Structure 1
């Protein structure tokens, strides 16, 4: 059992709190077909990358905001198989609202839609893709997330499932708890700890901050 102390927690959303991988794959392939991207039916989504950057990479000739709005609309209407990942609801409900934030590569509009569909609490503090100049793996999102909590990045624990997010957390100066699932343990190299789910993560709240206890993967 490992004990980790932090003053705040910065959660990624997709792959950490909820799984929407089925929707993401379906919608991006539909988007690619609509915009006549070659081999649209087998397009593999670069997980952890902002949608606006994917749009610009695939079709630099179109209006990026229009392309972003189209994929947002598709994903917001495709939530049938969205699931809350194990342990998430109990963990979030055990945290004081001022001690955690969501830092995601999804837009605010899409983030709110997914949290609502999942029945999860909407945090007071959010950093979404459309709130930063540079997305993950740049450290800006997690630095901004720490600022929202009134903390330094090194006082925060980042919880991530993607290599770009792990890189962003480390570059910001935070410690990182990697959740294996969307990516393998090897792909999350650099994370100080790895778990299979958040189900076994218990938090004690004290005057000085948070103490997390869990059994890491070996």
Structure 2
């Protein structure tokens, strides 16, 4: 494992790491799945975490055996409809939606001169950060519209390091989804998984929730890894 002293930057996912926007995504996708006649389940909701909008729609259609029922144009209209539902739900979001410990963690990273970037598949992430009052921490963001591949492909986290002018080895990626952790690992960065250790077992470092996310805890975990 890379040594803690060599880390210069952090690349963050948004949903489920900075704020629980996944709740709003799930509600919007659930609405669309009902409209499409696809059975909603907790398993389907989990599988959509960290996945791009079009890939999420394809997964819903496949779950319902309807992957060949719609043209590309129709699929894009449905994806746009889901996004409109999501934006409506976001209107009620404020700083109370920031996950425990995250505001303090971001402040400590800034104080200690770490570079920060956002690697979210959501095209709405700038709006979410503004509503949360956290946009100042993320002057650098990966534009998901410029990506060719979604998670678990390493592209988004590799770009997250690139926009900071850092090598992947100098960065820690933070994720709550299995596909995201795979993306971080494939990009050559140190991975932190937030959530169920059984689901995120491939992460280099595991924390059960965001309140455990501190520089001291990360340093301790990396030193144990070195040992």
Shorter-chain TM-score category?
0.7 to 0.9
Shift of 1:147: 0.5
Contact 2:102 2:210 in 1 (8 A): yes
User: Of the candidates 67, 80, 85, which is equivalent to residue 99 of structure 2?
Assistant: 85
2:37 aligns with: 37
TM-score (norm 1): 0.81
Q: CA deviation at 1:212?
A: 4.7
Distance 2:221 2:184 in 1: 21
Note closer, same or farther for the CA distance 1:98–1:42 as it changes in structure 2 (3 Å cut). Answer: closer
- Return the alpha-carbon distance in structure 2 between the equivalents of residues 86 and 196 of structure 1: 12
Change (3 A) 1:124 1:170: same
Q: Secondary structure at the match of 1:176?
A: strand
SS in 1 for 2:206: strand
Deviations 1:53-104 (A, max 9, x none): 1223425524243232221111111134671101111222233487010101
Q: How many residues align?
A: 202
**What pairs with 1:202-213 in structure 2 (closer than 5 Å)?**
202-203=214-215, 212-213=218-219
The reply on whether 1:126 has 2:141 as its aligned counterpart is: yes
Which residue matches 2:83? 72
Query: In proportion to residue count, which structure has more helix?
Result: 2
Secondary structure in 2 aligned to 1:157?
strand
Cα gap change, 1:71 to 1:213, in 2 (>3 Å): same
RMSD of equivalent CA atoms: 2.7
1:23 aligns with 2:24: yes
Structure 2 CA distance for partners of 1:32 and 1:99, relative to 1, 3 Å: same
TM-score, normalised via structure 2 length: 0.78
User: How far, CA to CA, are the matches of 1:201 and 1:106 in structure 2?
Assistant: 23
Which residue of the partner structure matches residue 145 of structure 1?
160
The answer to whether structure 1 residue 178 and structure 2 residue 179 are counterparts is: no
The answer for unaligned runs of 5 or more in structure 1 is: 205-210
Contact 1:51 1:68 (C-alpha < 8 Å) held by counterparts: yes
After superposition, what is the alpha-carbon deviation per residue over 1:97-144, rounded to whole angstroms, capped at 9, x for unaligned?
87010101212xx11222223222251111143231101100000111
1:44 CA drift (Å): 2.5
The 5-angstrom pairing of residues 108-123 of structure 1 reads 110-122=124-136, 123=138
Does residue 163 (structure 1) correspond to residue 178 (structure 2)? The answer is yes
Which has the larger displacement, 114-123 or 19-28?
A: 114-123
Measured after TM superposition, the shift of residue 185 of structure 1 is: 0.8
